[in-house]
Structure 1
Amino acid sequence: MRKNNFIKINNYGFIGNLQTTALVSKQGDIDFMCFPNFDSPTVFATILDEDKGGCFSIEPLIENLEYNQFYITDTASLITRFSSKDGMGEICDTMVIDEKDHKFKLLRKITTTYGNVSYRVKCKPRFNHAEKRHTASQKENEITFCKDDKSILCLNSCQDLYIAMDDGFSEFTLAERESAYFILTDFHLSEEQQQNMSDFGEKYYEESNEYWRKWVSQCTYKGRWIETVIRSAITLKLLTSHKEGSIIAAPTFGLPEKIGSERNWDYRYTWIRDAAFAMYAFLKLGFKEEATSFFKWVEKYCFKDKMDLVYTYDGKTPPDERTLDHFNGYKNSKPVRVGNEAKNQTQLDIYGELIDAVYVYYLHDGPIKKDFWKNIKHHIEYVCEHWKDKDRGIWEIRGDKKEFLHSRLTCWVALDRGIKIAEGNNLEFPRKKWEEVREQIKNSIYTDFWN
C-alpha cells in the first residue's frame, strides 16, 4: 500500500539509547535518526526530504490499513499496530542502553497477530545529512553500510536480506503469531548471534525493557497523573547523555515553528536554561542521579570565566550555523539549518536558572561542596557586574540587544538563591555586596519595567 507523505509531527513516536534518538512514524517508518550521537549528522531524514533523506521502513503489503501507536508501560519501547480486514500485526521498536561499551543497538520486531501478512522492509541510510555516498556489502545474511571514514551500520535479520542500489531490502510473509527481527548495529554480530537471531532479538527486547522498568521504579511521584508523569520523565531521560550527564533541548533540527516559515532551528544541544528546568523535574520526581550527573557536567565544562549559553552534549561549542540546501524541508519549509548561531549570544537569564537549579539540588540532596561553591560564587560575581547589560533574552532575538524584564528578574534570582545556598551551607560570601545588588535589581524591576 502507498503510505502518506509528510506525517504530522505529533504522529511520531520517539525512541533512543541515551546517545542518540529516532523518530518512528505512525506508519512504522524510522524517518529521522542522527548517528552515532545526538548532534551527529543524520542517516535517516525522510521527515526533511522524502527523496533524499533516507529511511528504515516496514511496509505491510495489504490495503486499507489503519494504524495506532503506543508505548509499552514504563518503558521506551514503541508499538506501532496496523489492521485491516485482510490482516493485523505490530512493529515493536526499541534501542538498547549500553552504558558500558556505548554500542549502538536498534531492534525492530515485526509480529503478525491475524492472518498471513506479507512485508517489505527497506533500510536506506543516507550518511552525513545525505551529503556522503555510502557502499553496501553482504556477508551471508548481514548487510554492512559503510561511508568514507569507515563508520558502519550493520543490518541483520532472521529473514533473507538482499542489496539493491546500495540499500538493504527484505520481503517475506509471516503467519499468525510469527515474528521477524531486524537489528541495526554499529558492529558486526558474531556467527552465533546471526544463527540465533530470534533468541538474540528477544534478548535485546527484554534487556531494553528491564533497563527502563528499573529506572522508572525510582520515581517518588504517586499522584493521579502517574502514567503521564512517567511518560514525560522517560522522554526527558531519553534526551540525556549517559556518557556525559548533559541533556539536550530536543532531538531534531529543521522542523518549522510554522509550516513554510524560515524559523527552523537546530535544537540538538544543551541549553543551560532548558537543562536547569529539566533538573527541577528530575529532582522533584526522585531521579537524583540525573541531577548529580548534570552538575558534574556543569563543573567540568561550564565553570570558565564566562558561562556559554549553549554547548554540545559533550561540552564543546556548537558548530557554525549552515543550511542544508539539498533538503526540501518538512512540508517544503526551508531553509533546513544545522548548527546554531545562538552560541554567540549573551542571555543573562541562564545564571539565575542554573543557580536556582543548584538551590533545588541542595534542598533535595544535601550540602554543596566548597569547590563547587567557589565556581558558583564566581558566576554570581559576574551577575553583580553585568546585570544592567543588554542581551538577546530568552527569545534569542537576532536584532539589536535590549534590556529584558525576564533577564533582569533572573539576575535577581541568581543573587537571591546564591545568598540562600551560602546561608544554608555556612559558606563564605560577600553578604553586604550581594544583598545590595539584589535590592538594586528589585528596585530596577519596579522602576524601569513595572507599568
Structure 2
Amino acid sequence: MTDKAIADYAVIGDTCTTALIARDGSLDWLCWPRHDGPAVFLALLDSERGGACRLVLDGLTEITRRYLPGTNILETTFVTASGRAVLTDFMPLHRHESVPEEGPDGQAQAQVVRRLACRSGRVSGRWQLRPSFDYARAPTEATTEGETCIRFRGGGDTIRAVCAVPLVLRDDEAEGAFALGAGERADLVIAHGEKHGVDGEGLPGAVDASLADTRAYWEEWSGRCTYEGPYRETVLRSALTLKLLTHGPSGGIVAAATAGLPEAVPGNRNYDYRYVWMRDASFTVTAFVNLGYQREAAEFLRFLREADTSRGRDLHLMYALDGAVPGEEFLDHLCGWRGIGPVGIGNAAADQEQYDIYGEFLVALHGYLEAVEYDPPVKVNDHLPEALGHLTDHILRARHAADHGLWEMRTEKRQSVHTKAMLWVGLDRAVQIARADPKHRLASPDTIARWERAAAEIRAEYHARGWNAARGAYTMAYESDDLDAAVLRTVLFGAFDPHDSRVAKTLERVGEELGAGDLIYRYRMDDGLEGDEATFTACSFWRVGCLALAGRNDEATALFERLLARGNDLGLFAEEIDAETGEQRGNVPQGFTHMAVINHAVRLAAADRETPTEEPDCRAEADAVPA
C-alpha cells in the first residue's frame, strides 16, 4: 500500500490523459492512451504491485513545488545535503499553427517529460522505472535498446523510456544512476506506443524545445481567461485543472483523473470517475463559459453530438470517451490506497435514472448561447431546434417520475426535490433560449406557453411537497425526513428564492445537521454502503453561494476564503474532505469541486457589484457570464 496523502499529489496532462506526481517526485498514476484507458503506473493504489517512475535523491532535506505561472507544468525543487536540483514535469502539448473549428486545440505527444537539472552544488541519486500494464494484470517484457533506452511491453501496450544517463535493466525495472554538478541534467522521457520517443543523443535539445512549446500552449490558453477578480490565480488554477480533464480528440470532459480513491475510511466507496457525467460536464461547461472559454463548451456539444446515436432523443447519465461505460469490475489483486479496497473500475451508476441532467444540460446550453450571442458554429446551430424539443419533451415526461437522485445512492428511487427543482430550471432555461433566439425558430409561442405552464406546476409542487414542517426544512424527497445538501444547489439556479424564510430555515438546518464547521456532508442517512463518507467539498461552496444570494456577502467571502485554504499547496482539491483530520478524500483532482471554486468566485464578484438597493437576479446568476 501507499501511505502518501491524496493532497501530496499534483496533476499534469495533455488533454488526452493525466499523470499524478507525488511531492517526492514519484509518478504514481497514469492511464494511456486516454483518461479511461488501462493504468500503466498505479502505485497510487498499490505501491508493491502498481508500477511507478520514482526519483530517489541522496541526502534529501527539503522539497518545495509550484506550477509555472499560467501552465500545467510542475516544478519541484529538491534540496539535498550537497546541492539543489529542480525537476520539471510535463506532458507535451504543442500549439496548432491554426486551430480548427472543431477538434483538439493542441497536439498531444503521448509523452511524459521529466527534466532534472542540478542548479547548485552536486546532487546524486537514481531514476527507478517500472510500468505495470493493464492495472498490473499483464506481465511486463522489457528489452534494452542501447545504453539509454528501454522498451517495455505488456497487455498489448508499449512504453519506451529514454534517459540522459545509462539505464540498467533488472527484471522488469529500469534504473538510471546519476551524479550531477551545477548545470548538468539527467532528463527522462517516457513515451507511449511503438514508434514514439527521441533518442538519447538528441534528448536535451528535444526536451527544451518541447518544454518551450508546451509552456507557450498553456500561457496562451491562460491568457484568454476573462476573470479579473481578486481570486484570479485560484480561479485560473481551477480552470487549468478542468482543462486537463477535457479530452481533446472527442470533446468529452471526465469527472476526475483517478479511480478507486476512497470516499470513506474505512469503507467500500471506491469508485471510478474517469467518465463523462452529464451533470459534472454540464457544470464544467458553465465554468468555462464564465471565464470566456466558449470553445471548450462547443467541444462538449460536439462530444454529445458524436456520442449520441439517438440524434438528441435521449441524454445518458454517464458516457465513456468512446463506446459504452464498462460495468463495474473489482481489482482484487490491488490492496487500494492505504489498504482500503476494493479498487473498482467501470461504474454501475451508468444504468441509473437521474432526470435532473436535462436541467443541468439546459443551464449549460443557455449560458453558452448567451456567451456566443446566439451565433454558435453551424453544426451546433443546425441541431438546436431538434435538441431543444427533445430535451423539453423528456422533462415533461419525467416530471412525475421517481429517480435515483443526484447522489447515485444504490437504493430505491424517490421523488427527489433536487430533481424536480432542476426540471423547473430546465424548462425555465428552455423558455429563455427560445425567447432570445434572434431567428425565432426554436419554438412556437404556443410551445413556449406550454413550457411555462408546466414549469409553474412543477415549481408549485416541489415547494408544497418538498417542505417538511416538522423538520423545518426542504428535504431530500417528497414525504421524507432526510436532509439533503443538494437543496442548496437548487437555490443557486433560482428554483428557490434565497430571501424566502423557508430557504433560510433550510440553510440553518443543513448547517446544524449536515455541517461540520465550514464543511458539509451531502446527507446523513443509511445509503446501503459501508463506512461514513467524508464531507462533500462542493456542498460547502454551495453554502457560499446561498449566503451571497441572500445578501450576506461578508459571511460568504470569509467562508469562501477559508474553504480555499483547505486545498493542497498547489490549490488542488479532491472530491471530499475528512472533517476530523482535514485530509482530502475521494478521486482527484475532482472537476465538481474546481468548477464550484470558479463559479463562486464569479458569483462573489457579481455580488460585490450589486448596490444595496438592487435585488440580485438569482435565476441568472448560476450561468451568467461576467462582463
The two structures have a TM-score, normalised by structure 2, of 0.69
In structure 2, what residue type is equivalent to 1:183? V
Which of 13, 26, 37 is residue 40 of structure 1 equivalent to? 37
Which of 437, 448, 451 is residue 454 of structure 2 equivalent to? 437
For 1:41 and 1:103, the matched residues in 2 are separated by 18
Which of 438, 443, 462 is residue 428 of structure 1 equivalent to? 443
Matches within 5 A, 1:36-435: 36-63=33-60, 65-97=61-93, 102-140=108-146, 141-149=148-156, 151-187=157-193, 193-302=199-308, 303-314=311-322, 316-367=323-374, 369-425=381-437, 426=440, 427-429=442-444, 430-435=447-452
Change (3 A) 1:187 1:161: same
CA RMSD of aligned residues (A): 1.8
What is the number of equivalent residue pairs in this alignment?
Answer: 445
1:69 is displaced (CA, Å) by: 1.7
For 1:39 and 1:191, the matched residues in 2 are separated by 23
For 2:198 and 2:170, the matched residues in 1 are separated by 26
Change (3 A) 1:192 1:22: closer
In structure 2, what residue type is equivalent to 1:347? Q
In structure 1, what residue type is equivalent to 2:345? V
1:317 is displaced (CA, Å) by: 2.1
Q: Residue by residue, what CA displacement relative to the aligned partner does 1:213-266 show, whole Å, maximum 9, x if unpaired?
A: 111111111222111111111000000011111110000000001222111110
In structure 2, what residue type is equivalent to 1:365? V
Greater CA drift, 301-310 or 20-29: 301-310
1:139 is displaced (CA, Å) by: 1.4
Change (3 A) 1:146 1:87: same
For 2:153 and 2:388, the matched residues in 1 are separated by 46
Greater CA drift, 434-443 or 100-109: 100-109
For 1:258 and 1:75, the matched residues in 2 are separated by 32
For 2:253 and 2:235, the matched residues in 1 are separated by 18
Q: Residue by residue, what CA displacement relative to the aligned partner does 1:389-413 show, whole Å, maximum 9, x if unpaired?
A: 1111111010101111100000001
1:28 is displaced (CA, Å) by: 0.3
For 1:331 and 1:148, the matched residues in 2 are separated by 26
Q: Residue by residue, what CA displacement relative to the aligned partner does 1:117-157 show, whole Å, maximum 9, x if unpaired?
A: 111101100000000012111111211111242x2111011
1:268 is displaced (CA, Å) by: 0.3
1:447 aligns with 2:464: yes
For 2:450 and 2:2, the matched residues in 1 are separated by 60
For 2:133 and 2:197, the matched residues in 1 are separated by 27
Are the equivalent residues in 2 in contact too, given 1:162–1:169 (CA < 8 A)?
A: yes
1:176 is displaced (CA, Å) by: 1.8
1:359 is displaced (CA, Å) by: 0.5
For 2:167 and 2:108, the matched residues in 1 are separated by 26
The sequence identity of aligned pairs, in percent, is 31
For 2:7 and 2:126, the matched residues in 1 are separated by 25
Change (3 A) 1:18 1:441: same
Change (3 A) 1:105 1:191: closer
Change (3 A) 1:354 1:191: closer
Are the equivalent residues in 2 in contact too, given 1:180–1:198 (CA < 8 A)?
A: no
Give unpaired runs (5+ residues) of structure 2: 95-103, 469-627
Paired residue secondary structure (2:10): strand
1:192 is displaced (CA, Å) by: 7.7
1:187 is displaced (CA, Å) by: 4.4
For 2:351 and 2:223, the matched residues in 1 are separated by 40
1:35 is displaced (CA, Å) by: 1.2
For 1:444 and 1:364, the matched residues in 2 are separated by 32
For 1:267 and 1:190, the matched residues in 2 are separated by 28
1:191 is displaced (CA, Å) by: 10
Are the equivalent residues in 2 in contact too, given 1:89–1:111 (CA < 8 A)?
A: yes
Greater CA drift, 92-101 or 391-400: 92-101
1:304 is displaced (CA, Å) by: 4.3
The two structures have a TM-score, normalised by structure 1, of 0.95
Partner of 2:546: none
Paired residue secondary structure (1:107): strand
1:356 is displaced (CA, Å) by: 0.9
In structure 2, what residue type is equivalent to 1:212? W
Paired residue secondary structure (2:93): coil
In structure 1, what residue type is equivalent to 2:18? T
Paired residue secondary structure (2:249): coil
Change (3 A) 1:191 1:97: closer
Q: Compare relative contact order (CA 8 Å, sep 6+) and give the higher one, 1 or 2.
A: 2
For 2:107 and 2:222, the matched residues in 1 are separated by 23
Give unpaired runs (5+ residues) of structure 1: none
1:8 aligns with 2:10: no
